Amino acid sequence: MVQSVVPEIIKESVANLIRSGERADGRALDQYREVSLETGVIKKAEGSARVKIGKTQIVVGAKPQIGEPFPDTPNVGVLITNSELNPMAAPNFEAGPPNETSVELSRVTDRCIREGKVVDLEKLTIIPGKKVWMIFLDLHIIDYDGNLMDAAVLGSLAALMDAKIPSTTIDGDEVVIDYEQMVPLPIKEQPLMCTLAKIGGELVVDPSLEEDDVLDARISVGVRADGSICAMQKGGSVPLTREEVLKAVGIAQKKTEELRENVSKLTK
């Protein structure tokens, strides 16, 4: 990503506003932009979702494939997360292999989904030690308006909850795949991520595009439904104090509960 220098005037005006408890788009410091979530949007993907936070928009596809397990975990299925910061999403996104921002995004999302135990990977074993289900989670970022991580995790959770895989039976040495009997993925937990930005000495939830450009530091916290923490990532070059970190975690626990309502709406 080619990042041009943000003018001092913009940095100052955003920080001043936040110091006085307001944000440029009128939100409270701990308020999310409008969130929208749809599943089943791509029929060719066994699971899919389209998520929008503000104008940031990601299309997530989940596709299963049969493959070999990792040698050190012979009875566990495989989850592979990949993200593409599509050049259409922002004027400074370039086509090409994933850059460090894209790689960080897929790895953090993967950790949150994996450590958050969304999919019971042990139930994805077909022939122990030989054949397991591999789930490919592909995040396609099509519009970037600040805060990718929260949208990525929300979209990924929704796509996995939407996904169906064919049922399998073993016939001696052979795996019989029955596409007429599709079953949902074994879903256990519903972790979500909340990102806060440190600007003007304050922490603000769900940084907008402008806030993302001027922030001093960023902290993303992955929280499960029971309030326990499953993933964290600090970004930005300015340090955070211990108090700021603990405060961020507290806010994230509260805000992910709100975000989770978007997911419950789907399962109704």
Partner 1 sequence: MIIILTSKSIGDSNKGSLVASDTKKRPDGRAFDELRPLKIEAGVLERADGSAYVEIGDNKVLAAVYGPRELHVRRLLKPNMAILRCRYNMAPFSVEDRKRPGPDRRSVEISKITAEALNPAVFLEKFPRSTIDIFIEVLQAEGGTRCAGITAASVALADAGIPMRDMVAACAAGKADGQVVMDLSEWEDKEGEADLPIAMMPRTGDITLLQMDGHLTSDEFEQALDLAIEGCKIISEAQKEAIKNRYGGD
Partner 2 sequence: MLLVEDKQIVVPGEILAEGDYHSGRGTFEEEDKICSSLVGLVAVRDKKLSVIPLQSKYIPKRGDVVIGKISDVRFSMWNLDINSPYSGILPAAEVFGKEKRDLNRAFNVGDVLFLRVVDVDEVKKVKLGLKGRGLGKFRGGILINITPTKVPRLIGKKGSMINMIKDQTRCEVVVGQNGVVWVKGKPEMERVVQKVVKTIEEEAHTSGLTDRIRDMLVELLGDKTEKTTEKEEDEDEFEEELIE
Residue 143 token pair = 């519009």
- Residues 55-84 as x/- pattern, contact with partner 1 by CB under 8 A: x-x-x-xxx-xx---------------x-x
Residue 241 token pair = 């104090």
Residue 176 token pair = 């019989």
Instruction: Kindly provide the residue ranges of all beta strands, DSSP E only, lying in the chain, ordered along the sequence.
Output: 35-39, 47-53, 56-67, 78-85, 125-127, 131-143, 164-171, 174-184, 192-199, 202-205, 217-223, 229-235
Tell me how many residues contact partner 2 (CB under 8 A): 14
5 in contact with partner 2 (CB under 8 A) = yes
Task: For the CB of residue 59, give the shortest distance to partner 1 in the complex, in Å.
Answer: 6
DSSP secondary structure letters along 203-262: EEES--HHHHHH-SEEEEEEE-TTS-EEEEEEESSS---HHHHHHHHHHHHHHHHHHHHH
**Choices 174-182, 189-197, 220-228, 236-244; region in contact with partner 1 by CB under 8 A:** 174-182
197 in contact with partner 1 (CB under 8 A) = no
CB of 233 closer than 8 Å to CB of 125: no
* Binders of partner 2 in range 22-81 (CB under 8 A): 22, 24
If contact means CB under 5 to 8 A according to the sort of partner, which of partner 1, partner 2, none does residue 31 touch? none
Residue 93 token pair = 């996104």
Residue closer to partner 1, measured from CB, 129 or 227: 129
Residue closer to partner 1, measured from CB, 23 or 50: 50
If contact means CB under 5 to 8 A according to the sort of partner, which of partner 1, partner 2, none does residue 4 touch? partner 2
Residue closer to partner 1, measured from CB, 169 or 267: 169
CB of 18 closer than 8 Å to CB of 202: yes
Using alpha carbons, list the distances in angstroms from residue 41 to 8, 48, 49: 42, 6, 6
Among 175, 183, 238, 246, binds partner 1 (CB under 8 A): 175
In angstroms, the CA 145 to CA 245 distance is 25
16 in contact with partner 2 (CB under 8 A) = yes
Beta bridge partners of 60: 49, 139
Give how far the C-alpha of residue 18 lies from the chain's centroid of Cα atoms, to the nearest Å.
26
88 in contact with partner 1 (CB under 8 A) = yes
If contact means CB under 5 to 8 A according to the sort of partner, which of partner 1, partner 2, none does residue 65 touch? partner 1
Give how far the C-alpha of residue 25 lies from the chain's centroid of Cα atoms, to the nearest Å.
24
Residue closer to partner 1, measured from CB, 73 or 86: 86
35 in contact with partner 1 (CB under 8 A) = no
Residues that bind partner 2 (CB under 8 A): 4-10, 12-13, 16-17, 20, 22, 24
Residues that bind partner 1 (CB under 8 A): 42-45, 48, 55, 57, 59, 61-63, 65-66, 82, 84, 86-91, 95, 97, 136, 138, 140, 142-145, 171, 173-180
